[in-house]
Amino acid sequence: MNMKNILKLVGITFTLLVNTAVQADITYDYIYSYKFDNGEIVSGSFTGSENGNLITNLSNITASLNGIEFTTNASGSLYAFSYVPDNLSPDLTSHTSGVIGPRAAWASGSAVASFDGTANNFLFIDSINPDGIFVNYFAIGSAFGEASSVAKGSDGHFVNEIFSPTRWSVAQTPVPVPAAVWLFGTALLGWLGVNKRRHQTAI
């Protein structure tokens, strides 16, 4: 196989690798914040997958209320849940938070955030059991009544209000392209350089 055909083959292989990386379910690091009407602020970060307006597969979650960091699990992250209405028990019930709202059923790992805030449905909490013992949490959704924002800090401070999308913000930072692609590109350039020098030496 001559040099021209080798270069074509290498080029095709590299293109396939790049396309695979681009088409994969790319994750991003996000920074978010929510400012309550009384001026109090919940802020933090998470990693997730972008799907139009939605951000799913949330992990590596942190939060703070008015600058006071939330207690997290051993890995340094909060657990993520989403609210699923319990249609079998639609009556109002008193939640652990003390807020009266529809009876909640929490689904682990299916929390959703959104860029415009209108599809937010998440509970970030330090306990694997949201109905058990916990220290702090931050939730946006309808679990506590009409599209509420609820937060309880690690110092016991509690704040609650009807959610306003205009006070929600989230920004993303792309995670670097997979290292394998960069490694392949670097090796390719090095290989081409060596072969070019060999060709010049042969001449």
Do 89 and 167 fall within a single domain?
yes
Do 19 and 52 fall within a single domain?
no
**Higher pLDDT, residue 86 or 105:** 105
Do 94 and 39 fall within a single domain?
yes
Do 67 and 15 fall within a single domain?
no
pLDDT at residue number 101: 46
pLDDT beyond 60 at 104? no
**Higher pLDDT, residue 172 or 63:** 63
- Give me Rg for the CA atoms of the chain: 24
Do 113 and 192 fall within a single domain?
no
Do 7 and 51 fall within a single domain?
no
pLDDT at residue number 170: 97
Do 105 and 16 fall within a single domain?
no
Beta carbons within 8 Å of 20's beta carbon, 6+ residues apart = none
Do 110 and 134 fall within a single domain?
yes
In order of 44, 94, 101, 167, 194, the CA distances from 157 in angstroms are: 17, 19, 20, 20, 64
Residue 40 burial by Cβ neighbours in a 10 Å radius (0-12, 13-18, 19+) = middle
Specify the number of domains making up the chain. Answer: 2
Q: What domain range includes position 169?
A: 27-174
Do 70 and 147 fall within a single domain?
yes
Task: Tell me the per-residue pLDDT of 153-202, one tens digit each, with 9 for 90 and over.
Answer: 989 999 999 999 999 999 987 655 555 555 556 665 565 555 555 555 55
Question: How much is the average pLDDT of 28-38?
Answer: 96
Do 46 and 133 fall within a single domain?
yes
Q: How far is Cα 182 from Cα 175, in angstroms, rounded to an integer?
A: 13
Mean pLDDT of the chain: 78
pLDDT beyond 90 at 142? no
Model's pTM, two decimal places? 0.69
3-state secondary structure labels for all residues of 121-169 = EEEEECCCCCCCCCCCEEEEECCCCCCEEEEECCCCCEEEEECCHHHEE
Task: Tell me the per-residue pLDDT of 84-96, one tens digit each, with 9 for 90 and over.
Answer: 776 555 444 444 4
Question: How many residues are recorded in the chain?
Answer: 203
Do 42 and 135 fall within a single domain?
yes
Do 99 and 184 fall within a single domain?
no
Reported confidence tier of residue 69, pLDDT bands at 50, 70, 90: very high
- Find, among 41, 25, 24, the residue nearest to 33 by Cα: 41
